[in-house]
Amino acid sequence: MISLFLLPLALFGKANGTVDTPANKVQTVIFDFGNVVVQKDTRLVEAFLSQELEISEETAKEILKERKEALLQGIEDKTFFKNIFKNFGKEMPSSFLKQFKKEIKGSILIDKKVFKIIQALKKQKNVILFSNTEKHKADLYKELGYYEPFEELILSYEIGLRKPQKEAYQFVIETIGVEPYRCLFIDDKLENILVAKKQSWNAIWFHDAEQLEKELYDLGFRLDCDPIGDETVPF
């Protein structure tokens, strides 16, 4: 693994008898969310729709895609699914929306190892979220409490900018008031990492919790994390 951290290690010497590290120069750690802190597994949701509508799971998967587009257009679940049931010659059960939301929540899996890393980093640095997302997703994550560890939320739908637009990175810097070289950005998409580097951010290209923890240690972060394995399980 080639580290994408930008601070030149050779520049760091001893200060007051203590070896200085890149970690000492970082003030703010900036996390992506999807595929870093949480993963999604919609198979149970697809199975639920398949059973309720008596359709194949492949068709259910297509309906979930249609739902995503409908939500982006401002169409609420109640209206969307009433029409879906009608299209299949059925009436939507009164309990459907409640159960559907439960299935959706169950499909969002949090990586407990990453979550513990975030908690450990908060003891040393400011930790914020910088995420491309839509309002309906963010509302659900807030309801689940998955945003609570972050001291600040910078969400694309609120600022009108998305990674990898360079203006989105500039917005983050202006908002948090920290020099770019004092930021450490963690994201699973290489294109987002490369733009961050061009903006003089330090960066780790995320693959999994173990790799993240190792790279943080290599940079001088000392994480007080209990070993819990790498499960991605619901809270």
Check pLDDT > 90 for residue 173.
yes
Token couple for 153: 């939320």
Q: What are the tens digits of pLDDT across the range 72-93?
A: 999 999 999 999 999 999 999 9
pLDDT, residue 28, reads 98
Length of the chain: 235
* Tens of pLDDT, residues 183-231: 999 999 999 999 999 999 999 999 999 999 999 999 999 887 554 444 5
Cβ contact 21:130 at 8 Å: no
pLDDT at 115: 95
Of 23, 24, 39, 38, give the one whose Cα is nearest residue 204: 23
**CATH class, range 9-39+110-233:** alpha beta
Q: Which long-range contacts (CB under 8 A, 24 or more apart) does 180-183 make?
A: 181/6, 181/7, 181/25, 182/25, 182/26, 182/27, 182/28, 183/26, 183/27, 183/28, 183/29, 183/30
**How far apart are the C-alpha atoms of 212 and 209, rounded to whole Å?**
5
- Taking only the tens place, the pLDDT of each residue in 132-168 is 999 999 999 999 999 999 999 999 999 999 999 999 9
| 175-188 mean pLDDT | 97
Q: Which residue has the higher pLDDT, 7 or 161?
A: 161
- Cα separation, 157 vs 48, whole angstroms: 29
H-helix segments, the chain: 22-25, 43-53, 57-72, 77-87, 96-106, 112-122, 135-144, 156-159, 166-176, 190-198, 209-218
Q: Where exactly are the structural domains of the chain?
A: 9-39+110-233, 42-106
Cis peptide before 164 (omega within 30 of 0): yes
Q: What is the pTM of this model?
A: 0.86
For 8-60, how does the pLDDT look when each residue is reduced to its tens digit (9 = 90+)? 433 333 444 455 789 999 999 999 999 999 999 999 999 999 999 999 999 99
Rounded to 10°, the helix 57-72/77-87 angle is 140
How many Cβ atoms sit within 10 Å of the Cβ of residue 8? 8
